[in-house]
A and B are shown apart, each in its own frame.
Chain A
Amino acid sequence: MARDSYDGTYARPVRRLLLAVLILFLLSLVLLWRIDNPRVERIRAAIVDRYVPNMEWVMAPVTGIARMAEDFQSYRRLFEQNQELRRELQQMRAWREAALQLEQENARLLDLNRVQLDPELTFVTGIVLADSGSPFRRSVLLNVGARDGILDGWATMDGLGVVGRISGVGQRTSRVLLLTDAASRIPVTILPSGQQALMLGDNSATPMLDFVEDPQDVAAGDRIITSGDGGLFPPGLLVGQVVFTSDQRMRARMAADLQRLNFLRVMRSHPGTTLDDPAGLIGPPWPPAGMRVDDDGALVPADAARAEAPEDPDATP
């Protein structure tokens, strides 16, 4: 084409070659990502680690101003809000009284039962730096990372409820996959019926509850807590409440306020002991008291073994 002559006679083939090489390179990058995912994700974490903390000084003021603007809008209905808050406060006083009583009762009962609570559930608090930037991913970036001892898979909460779990740790940042993300599945327990269920994120504000054993037993407003199945999360963290949609699907309204995530607690969970040996014989202690197993596998009185086990009090009557 005569019109395209401005591209130059030599530049065009070179450019075309360059383009082909570039496309091949990018396609192989995609394939590499698909094949060796962990390695490429580590590269991604490194890039995020470099880029995001550097723009913190930009982000802090912009985020602050945007949040102020949001709050300013609510000034317009200050009066109504005030009334509303007073009413709620009145209710809350009653609830507080009830909660105090329950707390005392609970402490008494726990004391009676000598329940062992997990004392090792401590947390690291991080600040939300950035979100995923994509309309299809629900995740946020925290300013704590591997140097703060964060590990993949730890539960993350805001003040009230579970927000998500750590998935991807960089040196200075870590990514929290929110419970609403389409890739999030966690085992939960619905109280008070004690039903086990799976909470499936589906990119909406209210994740779905599925695989409930007995859906009739569940009512709207029931509390959802993590069940700790599979060792994924520590058990007993508050997740939210059951709601029913108009098509009778069971969904969870999260206790955490996903609209305003600012400070998040990463719960340091320790891998608990697991029961993975299914076939152990359960019976009385073997060999019985006062006896021992000799080298041939036969039971003999323990008298002959006094030299080896002098501390055994039942050996000689």
Chain B
Amino acid sequence: MSALSARHVWTYRALFMAVSLVLITLKLLPLNLASSGVPGPDLLVLLAFAWIVRQPAVVPLGVLLAVFLLADFLFMRPPGLWTVLTILASESLRRRRLTMTEFPFLVEWGAVAVAIMGMVLLNRSALWILLVDLDPLGLTLAHAIVTIAIYPVVVVISKYLFGLRKLGPAELEAL
């Protein structure tokens, strides 16, 4: 099955939705209620970014919108804000994807790190402008750093478990 065939793309779209819903559900489980300390990574964002860089057609705009808006509503976040930031960052990654395919993984990681940091800071400043109660700065930064640090793991899992390989420039040009 070619990486560009319609069947392949739709299979992976469904897979993305399914994995996202599972992640949302897992996060909602009442398991570690009292755990404070280092907040866990935002796996949804990582999954979206890793897959966009690998095969952009697999994560279309509509799917991103649906998944993240649902997450915003369920996770008690301001609805729409994190979705906007994710969509903006994913668009910028989509546009810069070609340079990433030619350079080693570190460049991709750096781009994702910049995107996530930007999202977190923009999120914080938007909340500040809207006069919403802010979370502690240290926790927010720790959250961003943990998220960035987990990115390679998400990439490895998408590559070897889900078989999502990176499309080279030649294949992209062929379409």
Contact = CB atoms under 8 A, between A and B. Distances in A.
Interface string B57-93: 0000100010001110111111111011001100100
A6 interface: yes
Given A6-B175, A30-B84, A261 B33 contact: yes
B39 A135 contact: yes
A245 interface: no
A131 B26 CA distance: 10
Interface stretch (B10-18, B103-111, B133-141, B153-161): B133-141
Interface residues of A, number: 55
B78 A33 contact: yes
Interface in A144-188: 178, 180, 182-183
B166 interface: no
A27 interface: yes
A173 to B, nearest CB: 11
A59 B26 CA distance: 8
Specify the main secondary structure of chain B where it touches its partner. helix
Nearest to B39: A135
B31 interface: yes
B137 to A, nearest CB: 11
Contacts of A136: 39, 135-136, 139-140
Contacts of A107: none
A117 to B, nearest CB: 32
A55 interface: yes
Contact of A34 (B36, B65, B132, B140): B132
B6 interface: no
Contact of A44 (B26, B73, B143): B73
Contact of A3 (B88, B91, B98): B98
Candidate in A40, A51, A180 with the most chain B CB atoms within 10 angstroms: A51
A73 to B, nearest CB: 14
A183 B133 contact: yes
Contacts of B133: 182-183
Contact of B28 (A18, A133, A183): A133
Contacts of A125: none
A230 to B, nearest CB: 20
Specify the main secondary structure of chain A where it touches its partner. helix
A128 to B, nearest CB: 5
Nearest to A23: B84
Contacts of B33: 131, 138, 140, 178, 258-261
Contact of A133 (B74, B143, B172): B74
Contacts of B76: 44, 132-134, 137, 139
A63 interface: yes
A6 B173 contact: yes
A19 B136 contact: no
B24 A133 contact: yes
Contacts of A59: 25, 28-29
Contact of B61 (A5, A18, A52): A18
A259 to B, nearest CB: 4
A45 to B, nearest CB: 10
A116 B135 CA distance: 44
Given A135-B39, A135-B40, A66 B79 contact: no
A58 B25 contact: yes
Interface in A15-40: 15, 18-19, 22-23, 25-27, 29-30, 33-34, 40
19 contacts: A6-B174, A19-B87, A23-B88, A27-B80, A27-B84, A29-B80, A30-B81, A33-B79, A33-B80, A44-B73, A51-B70, A131-B33, A135-B40, A135-B143, A137-B76, A141-B28, A178-B33, A203-B36, A203-B139
The 9 A-B pairs at the shortest CB distance, nearest first, are namely A135-B39, A29-B80, A130-B28, A26-B80, A258-B34, A133-B27, A136-B135, A133-B75, A6-B175
Given A26-B87, A67-B31, 12 more contacts: A4-B98, A6-B172, A48-B74, A51-B70, A63-B30, A131-B28, A134-B77, A136-B39, A136-B139, A182-B136, A203-B136, A259-B32
Interface of B: 24-34, 36, 39-40, 61, 65, 69-71, 73-81, 83-84, 87-88, 91, 98, 126, 130, 132-133, 135-136, 139-140, 143, 169, 172-175
